[in-house]
Structure 1
Amino acid sequence: MEINNKFPLFESIRIFNGSPQNIELHEKRMQNAQKQLFGSEGNFSLGSFLESYDLPKTGIYKCRLPYGLEFSTPEFILYTKKNILSLRLVDGKDIDYSLKYADRTKIQILFEQRNDCDDVLIVRNGLITDTSYCNIVFENEMGLFTPQNPLLKGVQRTFLLQQKKIETAIIGVDDIKKYSFFYLINAMIPMEEAIKIRVENIV
């Protein structure tokens, strides 16, 4: 994908039956990203911006919005969920994806190491972070836990933390065996739609 230097970032927003989901959290993340990258945040209402478009009224769509200090034209793509059932641990070394950059080259290189698995689970400094597109939530008898230091603080992850439905934990590779199941979440996959998968599917 060609990267436009004017719009180095992008946001993925779930549109459900014509309604953008978690819009305030998306707006806050975008403003924080602008401040980190450009030194100032845009004065905008994401909700008002999206309302100026004819949003799909039925079904689940992914709104992909490239942006920098200004917005580009959003794309609305009918969403098809991928069934990710197996993960391969890969060493991300010092990879940084704290902002949602349009340039995902480093993540793509790691993804290509998945071999016969559906996706990769990226390890940084010995700690579990994210898959190539999702935050991960682990489950055991104590509750639901997500890595304290993900590559990207996803909107669905932030929402679940605010609702106190999950907690953060420092999770190393050797800690995976302390859990029974895992779930993959992102802006397009709320927790209630995530697949419950046994941790034995992480190799």
Structure 2
Amino acid sequence: MEGLSRWVLSRRRRRQSAMAGAESTNLRRAGEAVLGVGSYLVNAGGHRAGRLARGVALLSTGLLAGAFAYAVVSVVPTFKAVPLDVHLQFRTALMHMNGIFMQALMAVSLLSSFWLAITLRGAARGYAAGAGSLALTSLLVTRFGNVPINGRIKTWSASSLPLDHAELLQRWEIYHYLRTATAIAAFLLLIVLIDRAGAVRRVGVSESHRASGPQGPVVTTV
């Protein structure tokens, strides 16, 4: 009778141990599943953030470069083609219309480029950081070069111009050419970055197809 009791007790302990082991395994698997889902969500969120940063950076730097380049090929020559009183009226009106917009566009360009750099690694991060630095240069040239001259131009009239007005207008053009060059360079850096990323993806897909072969991947069962 005592032996039977011991056998029942031993069997009960083994069953409890098996149940505890199964519960521990289930908990471990559940934890691994939660970690896997969390990792996927983090990676997916980071991927989406990277795509958003890339789109905003490319759009804003492209608009900035295009606006400055348009001024070089169209607006500045128009200033020189019209009488000075018309030139001053047009320039003053243009300052009121695009002053806030252009500086905001420069800020978005540099912030989105640095944001993109944070989401990248290696050489790609360097390209994005370089684009952000160039956009920052455009902003600084505008703020400390063009804007002070614009403030003086607003006080001018065609009948009472300062003696150095021609020199100031020429200096404004130099600052504008400089900020145009840095804005275009920032845009080109982002284009190179995206082109290189696309080339890497194409190579990866090509190697994957080559490894799988024309009949698909070979599955080996051991």
* TM value normalised by structure 2: 0.19
Q: Between Structure 1 and Structure 2, which shows a larger proportion of strand residues?
A: 1
As a proportion of its length, which structure holds more helix?
2
| TM-score using structure 1 length | 0.20
State which structure, 1 or 2, has the greater radius of gyration over its C-alpha atoms: 2
